[in-house]
Amino acid sequence: MISKSKFILGQQCLKSLWLDSKNIPTTNPLDKSANERLKAGYEVGEAAKNLFPGGVNVEYHPSDFQKMCDLTFELIESGEKIIYEASFFADNVFIRVDIMKKTSKGWDIYEVKSSTKVHKYHEEDAALQWHVLKQINYLTLNNIFIVVVNNKYLKIGDIIHDELFNIISVTKYVKANQSNIKEQLKVTEKVLLQKKEPSIKIGSHCKKPHQCEYFDKCWPANIKSIDSIFNLYRLNLEKKLSLFEKGEDTFKKIKDRVDLTTTQKNQIKAHEQNQPILNKSKINDFISSVKYPISYLDFETFTDAIPLFDGQKPYMQMPFQYSLHIQNNINENLGLSKNHFEFIAKVKDDPRRFIAESLLKNLPSDGSIMAYNQSFEKNCIETLAKHCPDLSDELLALNDRFVDLIVPFRGGGYYDSNFKGSFSIKSVLPALCPDDETLSYKKLKIKDGSTALNSYKEMRLKSDKERADLRKELFEYCRLDTFAMYSIYMELIKSARI
């Protein structure tokens, strides 16, 4: 039997489908953020049922698909007009339909997705549903739709489900692709029966639409090495794969370097010379743009598929935490807790006004505000300003004071081969401050922004004690981000003086 999820897996890569069907352990299992996306998918699915209220749910029986099909049949026979999770089996394929609604022309089928637009694999998913449903002799079909989240919807008062979702017809695509589906099903079945692992080359399909869970099994082991062509800054994947196919998998082996960008050439040069490539004039340009006191600022944000607070949109970045280190002059040495301010909103509250007021209270009235990749922080401030019209002028004025610490690195002022083609703070920090234990994220429970946002959202369901522990971990993480910025800037100043 083929389930819809296995069919879709096979559409991405038949080898991954085969490995999965043989229960070969994955090398890159889903991480916490992927699980969070699944959770969001469930929430969205439940919310979408409100588009068609009054329906009946077919209970889930994981080990008894026939029972689910029988229950569905009984509901249809008894005259139910709206059914959630209706289950069908035909042509050796088992499917569950998110929502189906009976109309005077036959059943309308709705597949609910937590994304904000229809992707190709959603259409393929719908085409498979249609293929199965067409073979159910007691059903007359009318149309098939994909329901996606409308990220322009602004919650004011109770959720208006008709506005929260966009319903898009895919009937035309689905009908036009029925013969493809038949062919693809044949291929899928053949692969599932074969004894030998299918031979499939690595490619962009290993990352899209989903990161493959067998990635490390197939990709070369040296992909993470400093001199791997897969680490070349902003070289597109097709070009990387073409070099790899030609056997030019390390910097040394690249025969034609003419088309490489300046950053890519610096990357190779820094590796070959085993020392950073510096452009002091670019570093000094940045340093001279910075004014004391420096406010090193970092926000953490969460998103919700279904908005919780008035004035919130689906997937909108909601600032809930900031960390701020203040350095009054070039000779002032900071520590993790020295000249430091921080804030985390209570999980039950809309965080925006609280965070805005705290920030305005603690930020110096002049000097530079330093961020790493400033557009994120500036957007957070715009979000706060929109939510607090009475503080808007004061908040928006802050955006004129920003300086972006990524600029001297991304702009060609400083390249260290240990950046491995990335200018993220997590790549730059260990390269510039390799021996400082206080600057290691490894010892923290929360090590990255996506874990931080998931931890904050988890707090909604936790006991007071668990919440207090998570708050402590969140403080430790965000505090290190701003202390890291200060430490990187101090190293940058030193490098310009050498």
* Contact by Cβ (8 Å): 304, 164: no
Minimum distance from residue 119 beta carbon to ligand SF4 (Å): 17
Q: Is 15 in the site for ligand SF4 (CB under 6 A)?
A: yes
Q: Which two tokens stand for residue 394?
A: 């004061």
Q: Is 191 in the site for ligand SF4 (CB under 6 A)?
A: no
In terms of DSSP bridges, do strands 402-404 and 318-327 run parallel, antiparallel, or are they unpaired?
A: unpaired
Closer residue to ligand SF4, CB minimum distance, 212 or 428:
212
Minimum distance from residue 24 beta carbon to ligand SF4 (Å): 10
Amino acid code (one letter) for 464? D
Paired strand residues for 84 = 57, 99
Minimum distance from residue 22 beta carbon to ligand SF4 (Å): 12
Minimum distance from residue 210 beta carbon to ligand SF4 (Å): 9
Judged by CB under 6 A, the residue of 159, 168, 200, 360 near ligand SF4 is 200
Q: Is 296 in the site for ligand SF4 (CB under 6 A)?
A: no
How far apart are alpha carbons 230 and 244 in whole angstroms?
9
Minimum distance from residue 191 beta carbon to ligand SF4 (Å): 12
Per-residue exposure over 3-24, b if at least 16 CB sit within 10 Å of its own CB, e if not: ebebbbbbbbbbbbbbbbbeee
Closer residue to ligand SF4, CB minimum distance, 218 or 226:
218
Closer residue to ligand SF4, CB minimum distance, 200 or 254:
200
Phi and psi at residue 425, to the nearest 5°? -60, -30
Judged by CB under 6 A, the residue of 65, 121, 215, 376 near ligand SF4 is 215
Q: Is 143 in the site for ligand SF4 (CB under 6 A)?
A: no
141: left (phi over 0), alpha (psi -120 to 50) or beta: beta
Q: How crowded is the C-beta side of 456, counted as CA atoms within 13 Å? A: 29
Least Cα distance to 126 among 114, 147, 111 occurs for 111
**For 82-196, where are the alpha helices, taking DSSP H only?**
120-134, 161-164, 171-176, 178-193
How far apart are alpha carbons 460 and 465 in whole angstroms?
12
Minimum distance from residue 37 beta carbon to ligand SF4 (Å): 19
Q: Any idea what DSSP says for residue 25? A: P
Q: Which two tokens stand for residue 21?
A: 């069907």
Q: Is 218 in the site for ligand SF4 (CB under 6 A)?
A: yes
Least Cα distance to 484 among 388, 373, 392 occurs for 373
Q: Is 206 in the site for ligand SF4 (CB under 6 A)?
A: yes
Q: Which two tokens stand for residue 92?
A: 């050796």
Minimum distance from residue 5 beta carbon to ligand SF4 (Å): 15
Minimum distance from residue 202 beta carbon to ligand SF4 (Å): 5
Q: How crowded is the C-beta side of 145, counted as CA atoms within 13 Å? A: 19
First to last CA, the chain: 68
Minimum distance from residue 243 beta carbon to ligand SF4 (Å): 18
| Only segment of 132-140, 158-166, 200-208, 468-476 that touches ligand SF4 (CB under 6 A) | 200-208
Amino acid code (one letter) for 222? N
Closer residue to ligand SF4, CB minimum distance, 208 or 401:
208
Q: Is 326 in the site for ligand SF4 (CB under 6 A)?
A: no
Judged by CB under 6 A, the residue of 75, 181, 212, 485 near ligand SF4 is 212
Q: Is 9 in the site for ligand SF4 (CB under 6 A)?
A: no
Judged by CB under 6 A, the residue of 84, 94, 130, 214 near ligand SF4 is 214
Minimum distance from residue 215 beta carbon to ligand SF4 (Å): 5
| Only segment of 94-102, 115-123, 209-217, 429-437 that touches ligand SF4 (CB under 6 A) | 209-217
Q: Is 205 in the site for ligand SF4 (CB under 6 A)?
A: yes
Closer residue to ligand SF4, CB minimum distance, 13 or 47:
13
Token match 């229960």: residue? 23
| Only segment of 43-51, 206-214, 258-266, 391-399 that touches ligand SF4 (CB under 6 A) | 206-214
How far apart are alpha carbons 168 and 222 in whole angstroms?
44
Q: Is 16 in the site for ligand SF4 (CB under 6 A)?
A: yes
Q: Is 13 in the site for ligand SF4 (CB under 6 A)?
A: yes
Minimum distance from residue 111 beta carbon to ligand SF4 (Å): 24
Q: Which helix (H) or strand (E) is 438 found in, with range?
A: none
How far apart are alpha carbons 426 and 144 in whole angstroms?
45
Q: Using CB under 6 A as the criterion, which residues of the chain lie in contact with ligand SF4 when the complex forms?
A: 13, 15-16, 200, 202, 205-206, 212, 214-215, 218
